[in-house]
A and B are shown apart, each in its own frame.
Chain A
Amino acid sequence: MSTSSENIEAVVITRPKPLLLRHAPYFIGAAIVVFLAASAQFDGYILNILMQATTFAIAVFGLSVVLGLCGQINLAQAAFFGFGAYAVGIGTTDYQLSYWLCLVAGCVMALVAGAILGLSTLRLGGHYLAMVTISFQQIVTLVMINAIWLTKGPDGVSKIGRPSLFLSSQSYLAFCVAMLALVGYIVWHLPETRLGRAMRAVRDNELAAGVNGIDVFRTKVYAFAISAVLGGLGGGLFAGGFAYISPDQFSFAESIVFLTMSLLGGVASPIGSAIGTGLLILIPEWLRFLKSVPGLYLAIYGLSVILIIRFMPDGIWGFVTAAYDRMRSSKKVAVTSAPLQLRPATTGGEMVLEVTGLSKHFGGLKAVDQVDISVRRGGVHALIGPNGSGKTTTLNVLSGLYNATSGKVVLDGTDVTTMPPHLRAAAGLGRTFQNIRLFRSMTALENVIIGAERPGNTLTGKGDEAALTERALAALTFVGLGPRAMELISSFSYGHQRLIEIARALAANPTLLLLDEPAAGLNSTEKLELHELLKRIAAQGLTILIIDHDMTLVSEAAQHITVLNFGRRIADGESMAVLRHPDVVSAYLGTD
């Protein structure tokens, strides 16, 4: 379990250069492309293709945020695209409004529609979202066709205006390319931000995201709303570019085209989205003859979706980057970070956790029944009991994954009984899971940074990237994995993954740490090292509530033990006394 740190070169994580400087090449490149778009002499056909590719790509970027980053499906991107297009179309023709005003209005409409849709559906499972977005798409199409007084129905809207600054097609294209570059920059940079990390965490493991202080629901709504806005923006630009729009351009079939574009290129990155968009606009142009048979194109798209999902789930770009990553050896990091500090809050009284009369019933089953637990500040408290005695259910109620049927939970003076998991985390609760729940697509460091980002963590200074990285590295070093910080979770052994989960909880500087069977699945050496780690944690004054079956670990580490059996508390007190208690002995060994 320990990691040798002798043979590692002294490569320190290089202090990041200022953001603007690091990203300067991107902006220089973008400026050159915009200049080319503005100055090169395209014929009308090429111009149309470029215009379509540019505006579609912005909408596909939206899908890469909601589907790629956050793992939520959106099958109505064409409807949001239509919101932007119709706002610009109707606004600049019937109402003679300024193009800019219409473009903004289109984005706002898409945002509002997306937010409402998300707010009503995202608490539920992904199936609901898929079906509701399809329904929404159908409704929008129905309105576009039937509300003739507003949308002109199937005839569509023509003679759509452009801003006076970009009246010529060439200059308008340059403007669209500039917008694409700007949106591309934001989407590219998003995964490294706090919001982007939260989205990835939600995608990888919702439960773990919640107990690490991420508001899962809000994160999903943000992702969905961003996706909708980008759809609206792309649509608004599209309407100006082609001067004519009609309902069939914003149908469910177009939503599927957007989806195929993002899946083909690689849904996880804007580069992939751009590749997919480009390919799916160019390929149909090359294979024009296929268009003579109605339906054939979409049938091929449908088949491609199945094949991509089956054989190339990360798309073309994902395939390329995976090959590139295999060629590079993983970076090792020499650790120069300061030792990990744990400075649990000390606001409340002597008891960090006070649980009174806690019950959790599942139908008729009383999994937890009238349980009282008091955890003293700075101590290690164990919760034990035979299998099925309600230990893990208790922990799940404490961390907010289940709602308590009755009873009260007070954490460090705050009543948290009805709080959702992320607010309990903000109040100072940290936990690990019996079946390890890490964010699997991220590096060890990123996992622990999410822990360090817990709202209410006082030990990350300004909370900027450097402070978070330092805190996360210190936590990883504390559990002995500092040098492997940059590796992906999948490259760690089971025991090490458990340590990373503990490091993630420690980085958050919790007031109370809940450990759910940390020794489960570890071999005897690993158990000894875990025991030693627990001692070091306790030595810093952090209060721990631990569940485990390993009696040696429990009796040596814990000063205080609560015993559950059939959901009820059967003993509670100083550890040696409790372990000799006749009820406890009979619960574990049976009676004659």
Chain B
Amino acid sequence: MDLVLQLLFTGIGIGAVYALVALGFVLIFRATNVVNFAQGEFSMVAAYLMVVCAVDLELPYWLSFIIALAGMAVIGAIFNLGVYYPLRHRTYLPVIIATIGASILMANGVLALYGPQPQVLPGWFETPGIQLGPVYLDSQYLLIIVVTIALVIFNYWFFEHTMIGKKLQATSQDKEMASLLGISVSTMIMVTFIYSAVLGGLAGLLVAPILFVSIQMGSTIALKAFAATIIGGFGDVTGAIIGGLALGIIETFGAAYISVPYKDGFAFLVLVLFLVFRPQGIFGERVAEKA
């Protein structure tokens, strides 16, 4: 029982990271109808920026954190201008191929600049964690869970109660109508990309002390986050969060009770089961193309 509670805690912590990246997927998908296959690379690049600032340059942790997130905002903007925006009038296929190209470019660009050695990033807190009854709460996992909850609340407030959030929603629902109402669609798409890059970056910074900072971390996280969005229901914000948490828990239990080397395979297995039996996910509706 103790082990179960401990695994549950770990699973929720990892799941929260998947949920954050999945949220970035969903936001871009809703704004542009395109899945950004480089979403995971945002996490990886942010983690490397953090390693450069906090470890190599020995800047204070909080300052490195801010610099890394600011860097992600810039990268999000460049990504939009270089990859998505020129192709916005084409069908989805060229766009996803371009985002795949961007993901390869980012991963291997970092590899070329920084080398293949995985890096270690210390956690935010000195204290490793606290013992709560039978469960040991690791401080980094606690931080991840708290930040994710805070972000979900912020997201809700941002999209439902601020003007810019409402404009973003309007843009994602009907671009033509939004532009007729005087909303600058290209600005809104730009904001979406920047916001998603920062979200992905944040997830990377939070998870980096738990994993090693490596070139592969981006694609691993992206794969799980995408599975999370399908499990939750494609394009649905709540679904992305629930799906992410579910996947984190499944994976942690799978690794503990079934097999460690194939840990990364469970996400795929769950994904396929959902695709076959409930492709619309937990919360999604089946959408048909309009004739």
The chain A residues found within 8 Å of chain B, CB to CB, are 71, 73, 75, 120-121, 123-128, 130-132, 134-136, 138-139, 142, 146, 206-207, 252-253, 256, 259, 263, 293-299, 301-306, 309-310, 313, 392, 395-396, 401-402, 433
Q: Are A309 and B291 in contact (CB under 8 A)?
A: no
Select which of A75, A121, A293 is within 8 A of B100 by beta carbon.
A75
Q: Are B275 and A128 in contact (CB under 8 A)?
A: yes
| Residue B108 is within 8 A (CB to CB) of chain A in the complex | yes
A433 / chain B contacts, CB cutoff of 8 Å: 291
Task: State the CA gap A132–B230 with chains docked (Å).
Answer: 11
Q: Are A126 and B268 in contact (CB under 8 A)?
A: no
Supposing A131-B226, A294-B112 touch, asked if A252 and B219 sit within 8 A by C-beta, the answer is yes
Nearest 9 pairs between A and B by C-beta? A295-B111, A305-B101, A302-B105, A302-B104, A299-B108, A295-B108, A298-B108, A295-B112, A127-B35
Which one of A123, A135, A396 has the highest number of Cβ atoms from chain B below 10 Å of its Cβ?
A135
Q: Are B93 and A73 in contact (CB under 8 A)?
A: yes
| Residue B87 is within 8 A (CB to CB) of chain A in the complex | yes
Per-position contact with A for B91-133: 1 when CB-CB < 8 Å, else 0?
0111011101111111111111001100000000000000000
Q: Are A309 and B87 in contact (CB under 8 A)?
A: yes
Task: State the CA gap A297–B111 with chains docked (Å).
Answer: 10
A121 / chain B contacts, CB cutoff of 8 Å: 275
Q: Which of B61-93 contact A (CB under 8 A)?
A: 82-83, 86-87, 90, 92-93
Select which of A125, A130, A304 is within 8 A of B101 by beta carbon.
A304
Per-position contact with A for B225-265: 1 when CB-CB < 8 Å, else 0?
01100100010000000000000000000000000011011
Q: Are A131 and B35 in contact (CB under 8 A)?
A: yes
Task: Report A41 CB to chain B, min CB distance, Å.
Answer: 38
Q: In the complex, which residue of chain A has the Cβ closest to the Cβ of B268?
A: A135
Task: State the CA gap A303–B109 with chains docked (Å).
Answer: 10
Q: Are B275 and A299 in contact (CB under 8 A)?
A: no
Q: Which of B256-291 contact A (CB under 8 A)?
A: 261-262, 264-265, 267-268, 271-272, 275-276, 279, 288-289, 291
A138 / chain B contacts, CB cutoff of 8 Å: 219, 223, 264, 268
Q: Are B96 and A127 in contact (CB under 8 A)?
A: yes
Task: Report A102 CB to chain B, min CB distance, Å.
Answer: 26
| Residue B215 is within 8 A (CB to CB) of chain A in the complex | yes
Select which of B83, B108, B116, B234 is within 8 A of A306 by beta carbon.
B83
| Residue B37 is within 8 A (CB to CB) of chain A in the complex | yes
20 extra A-B contacts, CB within 8 A, seeds A253-B104, A299-B104, A309-B101: A73-B93, A120-B272, A121-B275, A124-B275, A126-B92, A131-B223, A134-B219, A138-B219, A138-B223, A142-B264, A256-B104, A259-B100, A294-B115, A299-B108, A299-B111, A302-B101, A305-B104, A306-B98, A402-B288, A433-B291
A139 / chain B contacts, CB cutoff of 8 Å: 265, 268
A127 / chain B contacts, CB cutoff of 8 Å: 35, 92, 96, 234
Q: Are B97 and A259 in contact (CB under 8 A)?
A: yes
A309 / chain B contacts, CB cutoff of 8 Å: 87, 94, 97-98, 101
A142 / chain B contacts, CB cutoff of 8 Å: 261-262, 264-265
Q: Are B264 and A305 in contact (CB under 8 A)?
A: no
B98 / chain A contacts, CB cutoff of 8 Å: 305-306, 309-310
- Judged by DSSP, the binding face of A is helix
Q: Are A73 and B111 in contact (CB under 8 A)?
A: no
Q: In the complex, which residue of chain A has the Cβ closest to the Cβ of B106?
A: A302
A295 / chain B contacts, CB cutoff of 8 Å: 107-112, 116, 215
Task: State the CA gap A256–B112 with chains docked (Å).
Answer: 17
Task: State the CA gap A71–B98 with chains docked (Å).
Answer: 15
What would 19 A/B residue contacts be, using CB atoms closer than 8 Å? A73-B93, A73-B96, A126-B93, A128-B275, A128-B279, A130-B37, A130-B96, A131-B35, A132-B275, A139-B265, A253-B104, A293-B112, A302-B102, A305-B98, A305-B100, A306-B82, A310-B98, A313-B90, A396-B291
Q: Are B268 and A296 in contact (CB under 8 A)?
A: no
Q: Are B104 and A301 in contact (CB under 8 A)?
A: yes
B102 / chain A contacts, CB cutoff of 8 Å: 302, 306
B109 / chain A contacts, CB cutoff of 8 Å: 295, 299, 302
Q: Are B97 and A305 in contact (CB under 8 A)?
A: yes
Q: Are B267 and A135 in contact (CB under 8 A)?
A: yes
Task: Report A405 CB to chain B, min CB distance, Å.
Answer: 13
Q: Are A135 and B271 in contact (CB under 8 A)?
A: yes
Task: Report B90 CB to chain A, min CB distance, Å.
Answer: 8
B86 / chain A contacts, CB cutoff of 8 Å: 310
Task: State the CA gap A401–B290 with chains docked (Å).
Answer: 9
Q: In the complex, which residue of chain B has the Cβ closest to the Cβ of A207?
A: B291
A128 / chain B contacts, CB cutoff of 8 Å: 230, 275, 279
Task: Report A211 CB to chain B, min CB distance, Å.
Answer: 9
Task: Report B193 CB to chain A, min CB distance, Å.
Answer: 15
A396 / chain B contacts, CB cutoff of 8 Å: 291
Task: State the CA gap A142–B269 with chains docked (Å).
Answer: 13
Task: State the CA gap A207–B289 with chains docked (Å).
Answer: 9
Q: In the complex, which residue of chain A has the Cβ closest to the Cβ of B94?
A: A309
Q: In the complex, which residue of chain A has the Cβ closest to the Cβ of B277?
A: A120
B92 / chain A contacts, CB cutoff of 8 Å: 125-127
Q: Are B279 and A124 in contact (CB under 8 A)?
A: yes
Task: Report A566 CB to chain B, min CB distance, Å.
Answer: 20
Task: Report B5 CB to chain A, min CB distance, Å.
Answer: 29
Task: Report B173 CB to chain A, min CB distance, Å.
Answer: 16
Task: State the CA gap A526–B237 with chains docked (Å).
Answer: 49
Task: Report A345 CB to chain B, min CB distance, Å.
Answer: 25
Task: Report B78 CB to chain A, min CB distance, Å.
Answer: 12
Q: Are B227 and A135 in contact (CB under 8 A)?
A: yes
B261 / chain A contacts, CB cutoff of 8 Å: 142, 146
Q: In the complex, which residue of chain B has the Cβ closest to the Cβ of A401?
A: B291
Q: In the complex, which residue of chain B has the Cβ closest to the Cβ of A431?
A: B291
Supposing A294-B115, A299-B112, A302-B105 touch, asked if A401 and B223 sit within 8 A by C-beta, the answer is no
Task: Report A364 CB to chain B, min CB distance, Å.
Answer: 13
B37 / chain A contacts, CB cutoff of 8 Å: 130-131, 134
Supposing A207-B289, A295-B112 touch, asked if A256 and B100 sit within 8 A by C-beta, the answer is yes
Task: State the CA gap A128–B101 with chains docked (Å).
Answer: 17
B90 / chain A contacts, CB cutoff of 8 Å: 313
Task: State the CA gap A552–B190 with chains docked (Å).
Answer: 49
Q: Are A296 and B112 in contact (CB under 8 A)?
A: yes
Task: Report A79 CB to chain B, min CB distance, Å.
Answer: 12
Task: Report A456 CB to chain B, min CB distance, Å.
Answer: 22
A402 / chain B contacts, CB cutoff of 8 Å: 288
Task: State the CA gap A334–B114 with chains docked (Å).
Answer: 66
Task: State the CA gap A433–B105 with chains docked (Å).
Answer: 42
Q: Are A263 and B291 in contact (CB under 8 A)?
A: no
Task: Report B290 CB to chain A, min CB distance, Å.
Answer: 9
Task: State the CA gap A253–B215 with chains docked (Å).
Answer: 13
Q: Are B100 and A120 in contact (CB under 8 A)?
A: no
Q: Are A135 and B101 in contact (CB under 8 A)?
A: no
A392 / chain B contacts, CB cutoff of 8 Å: 291
Task: Report B268 CB to chain A, min CB distance, Å.
Answer: 4
Task: State the CA gap A271–B289 with chains docked (Å).
Answer: 34
B230 / chain A contacts, CB cutoff of 8 Å: 128, 131
B94 / chain A contacts, CB cutoff of 8 Å: 309, 313
Task: State the CA gap A293–B100 with chains docked (Å).
Answer: 22
B234 / chain A contacts, CB cutoff of 8 Å: 127
Q: Are B105 and A306 in contact (CB under 8 A)?
A: yes
Task: State the CA gap A245–B106 with chains docked (Å).
Answer: 28
A146 / chain B contacts, CB cutoff of 8 Å: 261-262
